[in-house]
Every structure is written in C-alpha cells, then in structure tokens.
Structure 1
Amino acid sequence: MKKIGLYFGTFNPFHIGHLIIANHLAEHTELDEIWLVITPQSPFKKKNNLLENHHRFELVYRATEPYEKLKPCDVEFKLPQPNYTSKTLAELKDTHPDLDFALIMGEDNLVNFHKWKNYESILEHHDIYVCPRQTTIEIPEQFQNNPKIHITDTPVMEISSTLIRKMIKSGKNVNPLLQHRVWEYIDEMNFYR
C-alpha cells in the first residue's frame, strides 16, 4: 500500500522552505509521496492578504510539477468549515481506500496535538512525521516513544511566508526564496503589492 504524507498549510505563498521540507520527507522517509494540502480561506476569518484558494493551489502546482513525489491537494476546499484534520483524513480514506495516509507536522504542533479534535483516533490510524523546529521543544510524555510518531531529521527552515509578503510589498528581491515559476505567477498577477 502506497504511503502518502500529508503536509498542511496555507502556503501564502508556497516557498523554497516548504519545497525543501516536502522533498526531504519524500526522499528520506518511507513516505512514497507528499501531498501538500492547501488550507482553505476560512469563511469566518477573512484575511486581506490571503490569496484565494485557486491561486494558492496554482502556486503549489507550479512549484511541485517537476517533482514526481510531490502533489498539490485541494481536498479541504470541498469540505464544510470549520475544518478538522480528522474529517480531512476520513474524506481522503473514503476517496482513496487503497492508500495509507500519514500526517506531517512541526514539533510545535505535536505539543498541542492532545487538544486536536479526535486526536486519539488520528494517532490510532495514522503515523505522524514530526519536523524539528529551531528552538528545542519538549515533546509531551504521552507522545514520547510512541511507535506511530516519527521524529524526522528534516532541515530546519527559517523562511516565512509573512516575511516574503512583506518583502514583495516593499519591493525587495525575493527570487532566492521562491521557485522561479511561483515568482513568475506572483509577479504576473501583482500579488502581495
């Protein structure tokens, strides 16, 4: 059974840090593919600088197209809001019963994982791949030595979408931070200015 890692994010915009982490997980873990799940704009929390769903999907598509093991995923666009990871996992399992889905999260998310809706069920049915953060985080005891939780050696990327948006707005060169086709689309569409 093919094992798919789910990497969630708003990807506003999708940058080389996201790409490096996703590719590292695809190449250095037993995950066969990484699906980049684009989190939809919440109808309850309108953010002025959050690009519409289809534009963020296009950015992820453009960045990942050359990578056979990386795929954009819009499953959450079709689900009712507010959205919960457990519902997304159930939806993916229904539509792809032949695939095994795993979650990808940062260490900071693992600290609060016990507060997630249906976290016990998620942990019972899915592996979790944890990416380190720059500051060392104490992993809660209940998640230590759990065979379903895999701490990865993914590179720590200190690049933020917020910083990139600010740089674009102030006319700075962001080319090194974005895959070139992503930058072309942002520039052509005049986003974040």
Structure 2
Amino acid sequence: MSEESSILTGIFGGSFDPPHEGHSGILKSFFKEVPECKEVFLIPNRQNPLKGEKLSPSPDIFEMLNLFASELDAPIRILDLELKRKGPSYTIQTVKELKNLYSDREFVLLIGEDNYANFHEWNDWGGILNEVRNVFVFRRFSEIIPINPNLLARTEFRFLKNPLIPVSSTDLRNSFSEMDSGSDASEYPVSQFQNRISESILDYIQKNGLYRK
C-alpha cells in the first residue's frame, strides 16, 4: 500500500502510571505539528526492559487511560497488547504486531528525549527505524534536545516543540506514596496536583487507593 493511501498512525508507549498533563501536552503538540496523522495508539507497557519499576495492576492503568482519553479532544485509541504480553515489552515486537493487525496503516513512533538519548541501545533499534516512517521526539527536560551522536546518520528523527510540563508519572507515584498511608484516600489535596493530573484520574486514584505504601 502506498504512503498516499495508508492511514498515518502514531504509536505512543509508556507506563502511563498514571497518565498526566504532560502526556496531554505532548499529544496536543503532536497533532498540531503533524496534522496528517489521523490517530495515535496509546500502548501502556507492563514491563519496560530498561526500567525495573513496579507498576499498578493492568486494569487500573487501562481504566485511567480511558478517563484520560475521554477528556482529550483528539483521535486516540488505547491498546492493551503489551499489558497482555508476558515478560519485557520490546518496541520492535509491538511495531511488527501492529503492522500485521493494521495493514492499511503506516506508523510513526513517539518517544521522549530520554529515550532518544539511549535509542541506539534498544533491542533491534535499526529494525524499528525500518518499520516506521519517522520517530518524533518530544521534549521532557530541555528546550533544545541534545543530538544523540550515535544517530547522526539516521534521517527518521523529528523533534517536537511541545511545552515543557514539569511532571512525570514517577514523581506523581512518589507524591502519593509519601502521603500518610493511614489517611482517607478522599483527603488528597486537589490543589497539590492541579495542572499535573486531571481531577477524574485523581478521583480514581483516591477511590482505589493506588500508590499507597
């Protein structure tokens, strides 16, 4: 199928534990800068091979992403194929699986600047670049993303101009776990998480007691 007739689709993977306003900003910037992209697949992973984080149960992550998607005015779809996979989640596996499932689509990948910095260490990173049209790198810490010298010869990378929103899933999990584990979950101060996480997701975290020690 030619590029002209295929549906350009983004792949955005991560823990999304929990999804937050930084993710919203990334997606809004991506759709603005890449208007030809018709949809983004959000793919939560159960086990990142480069991280040893203990994540929330898969149903909770999936439900928080449903809340996240319902509030974001953008064509996004949540897929649980990595949550169902046993063992570490490798991007090359996911991309190939998606291409088999959605043969009418052409894919681009969204990654953060931290992942761009070690992309050359990913499992079959050259194979990933052969399977997607482009890799869009979003900013997390820097106004200007430092160039990875190991990837200078590759032309697939594009750099987004998304706003820098000082929030991460890890920081949010730490904030929740540091709170008094004996307090009622409904007592989480909304003001402490304003502009970091939506109220609906905060409410879900409270009601289900996620991230408590």
State the TM bucket, normalised to the shorter chain.
0.7 to 0.9
Partner of 1:100: 106
More displaced, 136-145 or 65-74?
A: 136-145
Matches within 5 A, 1:60-139: 60-66=65-71, 67-126=73-132, 127-135=134-142, 136-139=144-147
Partner of 2:173: 165
CA contact (8 A) 1:129 1:149 kept: yes
TM-score normalised over the length of structure 2: 0.79
Task: Give the 3 Å change call, closer, same or farther, for CA 62–118 of structure 1 in structure 2.
Answer: same
For these two proteins, the number of residue pairs brought into alignment is 191
- The alpha carbon displacement at 1:98 in A equals 0.9
CA contact (8 A) 1:14 1:161 kept: yes
4+ residue runs over 6 A deviation: none
Task: Give the 3 Å change call, closer, same or farther, for CA 46–154 of structure 1 in structure 2.
Answer: closer
CA contact (8 A) 1:3 1:31 kept: yes
Counterpart Cα distance in 2 of 1:82 and 1:168: 26
Partner of 2:197: 178
- RMSD value over aligned CA atoms? 2.4
Partner of 2:31: 26
- One-letter amino acid of the structure 2 residue matched with residue 34 of structure 1: V
Q: Point out where structure 1 has 5 or more consecutive residues left out of the alignment.
A: none
Matches within 5 A, 1:5-44: 5-29=10-34, 30-41=36-47
Q: Which has the larger radius of gyration?
A: 2
- The alpha carbon displacement at 1:39 in A equals 0.6
Counterpart Cα distance in 1 of 2:53 and 2:152: 37
TM-score normalised over the length of structure 1: 0.87
Q: Percent identity?
A: 28
